[in-house]
């Protein structure tokens, strides 16, 4: 069972930048479609508040309902060896998850050993900024419906009780965003291997801004945001039974989708790239570092047959 979005065991160059960007592009579709699904439900803030539900307190669990969903789900995925794949990062601390039932797949070693993990930031911005924005239409419609039935005041808002449906979709979105952001490591390794001499001085003498300038490709980002807006506009259309677009209100806040990438996903991906590069020389001999500084390219990972 391989959870890898890019099948690392089928050969081909896993550090080919166009190939990696192809995975990032495919993840755009996953993220947009899951956000459309999440937008069908109200905000349901009870999913995200820690220490509120007595049922969880009775289990001795002090996280939010969503964090409990994640722990329970990721516990099964850990047994199914999901987190032995080089592109999968659980939101639950790995030490709190059970070991794999099956022996790990022997993936080729592609990334340099690192502990870079942006999932706490991803969980925070998703629950605090993204969910309230993309569920705004459903939340307002729910409040109007409640008022029409005589429910007014705090009881009007935000909660349609569909914690299970909304929580499962939240997990899908979070896992896709996490994979997308952490693919920054493959991007960084690819760029490093292509031109080590440019990166080594700013790793030996840590300089985040210099590394960020080296990895940032403004034209790639511009085209991505343009493509994303077009995709969200098309995917969010409603279609009549004969397939004709109905032309009514989009099923998702298109500006919200673009803002998710522009304000959160892309900046976090760049940070993951820089954090990864800052540990890229750890443990290497002075000779090895001098070779890299002189532009000698490191060996590509052994390709599986």
Nearest one of 171, 220, 280, 271 to 24, comparing CA atoms: 220
Binding of ligand ISJ at residue 229 (CB under 6 A)?
no
User: Helix 196-204 crosses helix 208-215 at what angle (to 10 degrees)?
Assistant: 160
3-state helix, strand, coil in the chain (%, to 5): 60, 0, 40
Binding of ligand ISJ at residue 220 (CB under 6 A)?
yes
Query: Closest approach of Cβ 187 to ligand ISJ, in Å?
Result: 4
Binding of ligand ISJ at residue 131 (CB under 6 A)?
no
Q: Which of 13, 156, 172, 221 binds ligand ISJ (CB under 6 A)?
A: 221
- Rg of the chain (C-alpha set): 22
Please, which residue, 236 or 274, has the CB nearer to ligand ISJ? 274
111 CB-near residues (< 8 Å, 6+ apart): 86, 185, 186, 189, 276
d(CA 281, CA 113): 10
Binding of ligand ISJ at residue 211 (CB under 6 A)?
no
Q: Quote the tokens at residue 264.
A: 């959160």
Please, which residue, 216 or 282, has the CB nearer to ligand ISJ? 216
Q: Which of 116, 123, 169, 187 binds ligand ISJ (CB under 6 A)?
A: 187
Please, which residue, 181 or 254, has the CB nearer to ligand ISJ? 181
Segment lying near ligand ISJ (by CB under 6 A), choices 55-63, 115-123, 140-148, 211-219? 211-219
Binding of ligand ISJ at residue 26 (CB under 6 A)?
no
SS3 label, residue 239: strand
The residues in 248-267 that bind ligand ISJ, with binding defined as CB under 6 A, are: 266
Please, which residue, 77 or 270, has the CB nearer to ligand ISJ? 270
d(CA 224, CA 253): 18
Segment lying near ligand ISJ (by CB under 6 A), choices 85-93, 115-123, 219-227, 250-258? 219-227
Query: Closest approach of Cβ 216 to ligand ISJ, in Å?
Result: 4
Q: Which of 3, 19, 21, 293 binds ligand ISJ (CB under 6 A)?
A: 21
Q: Which residue is nearest to ligand ISJ (CB)?
A: 269
Where does residue 95 fall: left (phi above 0), alpha (psi -120 to 50 degrees), or beta otherwise?
A: alpha
Segment lying near ligand ISJ (by CB under 6 A), choices 2-10, 117-125, 196-204, 210-218? 210-218
Please, which residue, 166 or 257, has the CB nearer to ligand ISJ? 257
- 299 exposure class (CB count in 10 Å sphere: 0-12, 13-18, 19+): exposed
Where does residue 243 fall: left (phi above 0), alpha (psi -120 to 50 degrees), or beta otherwise?
A: left
Q: Return residues touching ligand ISJ (CB under 6 A).
A: 21, 184, 187, 215-217, 220-221, 224, 266, 269-270, 273
């Amino acid at each position: 069972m391989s959870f890898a979005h890019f099948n690392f065991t089928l050969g081909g160059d896993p550090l080919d930048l166009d190939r990696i960007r192809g995975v990032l592009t495919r993840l755009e579709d996953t993220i947009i479609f899951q956000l459309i699904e999440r937008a069908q439900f109200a905000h349901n803030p009870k999913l995200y508040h820690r220490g509120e539900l007595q049922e969880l307190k009775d289990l001795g669990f002090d996280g939010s309902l969503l964090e409990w969903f994640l722990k329970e789900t990721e516990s099964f995925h850990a047994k199914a060896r999901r987190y032995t794949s080089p592109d999968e990062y659980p939101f639950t601390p790995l030490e709190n998850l059970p070991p794999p039932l099956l022996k790990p797949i022997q993936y080729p070693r592609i990334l340099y050993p690192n502990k870079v993990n942006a999932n706490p930031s991803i969980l925070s911005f998703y629950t605090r900024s993204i969910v309230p924005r993309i569920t705004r239409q459903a939340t307002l419609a729910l409040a109007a419906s409640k008022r029409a039935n005589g429910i007014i005041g705090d009881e009007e808002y935000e909660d349609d009780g569909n914690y299970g449906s909304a929580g499962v979709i939240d997990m899908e979105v979070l896992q896709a965003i996490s994979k997308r952001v952490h693919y920054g490591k493959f991007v960084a390794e690819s760029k490093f291997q292509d031109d080590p001499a440019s990166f080594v001085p700013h790793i030996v003498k840590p300089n985040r801004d210099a590394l960020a300038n080296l990895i940032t490709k403004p034209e790639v980002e511009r085209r991505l945001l343009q493509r994303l807006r077009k995709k969200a506009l098309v995917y969010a259309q409603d279609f009549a039974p004969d397939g004709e677009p109905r032309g009514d209100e989009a099923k998702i806040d298109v500006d919200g989708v673009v803002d998710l990438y522009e304000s959160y996903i892309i900046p976090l991906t760049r940070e993951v790239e820089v954090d990864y590069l800052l540990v890229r020389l750890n443990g290497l001999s002075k000779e090895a570092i001098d070779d890299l500084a002189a532009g000698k390219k490191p060996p590509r990972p052994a390709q599986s047959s």
